[in-house]
Structure 1
């Protein structure tokens, strides 16, 4: 059950079997059905989840009542609201919802701190994960500002190659910041080429 997450976290730091056993012992296994809301705006986020199986989305609702998707999380990805809830102790501004039946391995802030106390090298691994997350977020911001809708869609396909077969087109359009109709036109144009 822990092979997937252990392989993922060990890409950044080499751990002993003892350290990985501590890590695994602090994870909570959760099976979560499709269309479950794990976090609502206004709540405090008390988890960081690793996706063993399934697909989730993180989104907010803008002032016009439109859902704006910030992230998809599929196998081997992490999802949480670390920007407001966990590290700043503020109510979340986002929702996290399962789009498929999911299997997750979950940390609470307390279990993560216990991990750092008992196996300090994990702090480095999670710092590297955080830096990678910041890089992805920065690239997404650049893409949103500087690229055309077609370029954004092609970048999306590179980042999330399995998502178009797994989620409704309007979710992808929301992530890209365009209408579903415009996305259909982009896809039709690309199919001709």
Structure 2
């Protein structure tokens, strides 16, 4: 599991056709990992790449377990972190099946404005589950309204 000290990472999976599907972005102050793989030891489903030059702190499962046993405040910290992550992923799942493309983009701009400035449009489109062309049309429509 990695903590982003500096930089920007992306987590994604590749389907059988070779298409990439964005899972999440992680920037300064965020933790990232293929959590299922980290805790189970099974093969990772998600790949993680740096979008920008990055500095990371990396912890192994053994060290994570030791730290959370020996330092109770860290156990609580990670429990709250994992709870918030679960809530965020559930909301994103609901949004992905219920919200229109424009609603997804507007919500992303409100929640994470730094994403719009730091991440290439094709990766944002993948994260939202839309084509880059659709994202371009949405951005143009929003600009014209202002």
TM-score when scaled to structure 2? 0.94
Distance 1:141 1:77 in 2: 20
* Structure 1 position 119, deviation (Å): 1.2
Structural mapping, 1:84-103, within 5 Å? 85-103=37-55
* Structure 1 position 75, deviation (Å): 1.3
For residues 73-112 of structure 1, the C-alpha deviation after alignment (integer angstroms, 9 at most, x for no partner) is 01111110112x1222210111100000011122111111
Secondary structure in 2 matching 1:101: coil
For residues 32-53 of structure 1, the C-alpha deviation after alignment (integer angstroms, 9 at most, x for no partner) is xxxxxxxxxxxxxxxx111121
- 1:176 matched to 2:128: yes
Name the count of aligned residue pairs. Answer: 145
RMSD (Å), alpha carbons: 1.1
Secondary structure in 2 matching 1:131: helix
Secondary structure in 2 matching 1:178: coil
For residues 100-141 of structure 1, the C-alpha deviation after alignment (integer angstroms, 9 at most, x for no partner) is 001112211111112123212321211111000100100100
Aligned to 2:118: 166
- 1:58 matched to 2:11: yes
Unmatched segments (≥5 aa) in structure 1: 1-47
2:56 corresponds, among 94, 98, 104, to 104
Distance 2:3 2:111 in 1: 17
User: Of the two structures, which has the highest relative contact order with CA contacts closer than 8 Å and spacing of 6 or more?
Assistant: 1
2:32 corresponds, among 72, 75, 79, to 79
Larger radius of gyration: 1
Aligned to 1:153: 105
Distance 1:100 1:66 in 2: 21
Structural mapping, 1:132-151, within 5 Å? 132-151=84-103
* Structure 1 position 156, deviation (Å): 1.3
* Structure 1 position 159, deviation (Å): 2.6
